[in-house]
Amino acid sequence: MENILQIDTDFIENNTVFSELIEALKNGFCNNKTLIPMRHHHDFPNPEVNADSTLLLMPAWNPSKDAGVKIVTVSPENGKFKLPSIQGTYIYFDAVKGSIKAILEAKSLTVKRTAAASALASYFLSRKDSSSMLMIGTGALSINLIKAHAAVRPIKQVFVWGRNIEKAQAIASALKHENFSVKAIKSIEEKIAEVDIISSATLSKTPLVFGKYLNPGQHIDLVGAYKKDMREADDKTISKSSVFIDTFQGGLKESGDIVIPINKGILNKEAIKADLFQLCSNNKIGRTSENEITVFKSVGHALEDLAAAGYYYNKFKNE
> Is 90 exceeded by the pLDDT of residue 263?
no
Is the pLDDT at 244 greater than 90, yes or no? yes
Same domain, 163 and 231: yes
In a domain, 115, yes or no: no
In a domain, 116, yes or no: no
Residue 148 lies in a domain: yes
Do residue 209 and residue 292 come from a single domain?
A: yes
Helix axes 140-152, 165-174, angle to 10 degrees: 50
pLDDT band at 148 (very low <50, low <70, confident <90, very high): very high
The predicted pLDDT at position 287 comes to 95
Section 295-313 average pLDDT: 94
State residue 229's pLDDT score.
81
Check residues 2 and 16 and name the one with the higher pLDDT. Answer: 16
Does 66 share its domain with 148? no
Q: Domains in the chain: how many in total?
A: 2
The total of other beta-carbon atoms located within 10 Å of residue 142's CB is 29
pLDDT in tens, 74-131: 888 888 888 878 789 999 999 999 999 999 999 899 999 999 999 999 999 999 999 9
Tell me whether residue 83 is in a domain: yes
Domain contains 233: yes
pLDDT at 31: 80
Axis crossing angle, helix 106-125 with helix 18-30, rounded to the nearest 10: 80
> How confident is the model at residue 205, as a pLDDT?
87
Asked whether the predicted pLDDT for residue 209 surpasses 90, the reply is yes
pLDDT interval class at 261 (50, 70, 90): confident
DSSP secondary structure of the chain: -PPPEEE-HHHHHHS--HHHHHHHHHHHHH-TT-B-PPPEEEEE--TTTTS-EEEEEEEEEETTTEEEEEEEEE-TTGGGGT--SEEEEEEEEETTT--EEEEEEHHHHHHHHHHHHHHHHHHHHS-TT--EEEEE--SHHHHHHHHHHHHHS---EEEEE-SSHHHHHHHHHHTTTSSSEEEE-S-GGGTTTT-SEEEE----SS-SB-GGG--TT-EEEE----STT--SB-HHHHHTSEEEES-HHHHTTS-HHHHHHHHTTSS-GGG--EEHHHHHTTSS----STT--EEEE----HHHHHHHHHHHHHHHHT-
Give the pLDDT confidence score for residue 59 in this predicted structure.
Answer: 94
> Is residue 236 one of the residues assigned to a domain?
yes
Do residue 96 and residue 234 come from a single domain?
no
**Average pLDDT, stretch 21-32?**
92
pLDDT at residue 163, rounded to an integer: 92
Look at residue 114 and tell me if it is in a domain: no
Answer whether residue 228 is part of any domain: yes
The values of phi and psi at residue 70, to 5°, are: -105, 135
Question: Do 129 and 257 reside in the same domain of the chain?
Answer: yes
Give yes or no: residues 161 and 267 share one domain.
Answer: yes
Per-residue pLDDT, 109: 94
The reply to whether 94 and 82 lie within a common domain is: yes
133 and 149 belong to one structural domain: yes
Q: Are residues 132 and 250 in the same domain?
A: yes
228 and 161 within one domain: yes
Per-residue pLDDT at 258:
87
Q: What is the reported pLDDT for 288?
A: 95
Per-residue pLDDT at 3 exceeds 90: no
Judge if 90 and 131 occupy the same domain: no
pLDDT band at 169 (very low <50, low <70, confident <90, very high): very high
Residues 17, 84, single domain; the answer is yes
**Residue 32 pLDDT > 90, yes or no?**
no
- Read off the pLDDT band of 200 (50, 70, 90): very high
Residue 64 belongs to a domain with what CATH number? Answer: 3.30.1780.10
- 1 pLDDT band (50/70/90 cuts)? low
The CATH number of the domain where 229 resides is what?
3.40.50.720
What domain range is 272 assigned to?
Answer: 121-300
pLDDT in tens, 69-87: 999 888 888 888 888 787 8
Q: Tell me, what's the pLDDT at 46?
A: 87
- Average pLDDT for residues 297-313, to the nearest whole number? 94
Average pLDDT score, the chain: 92
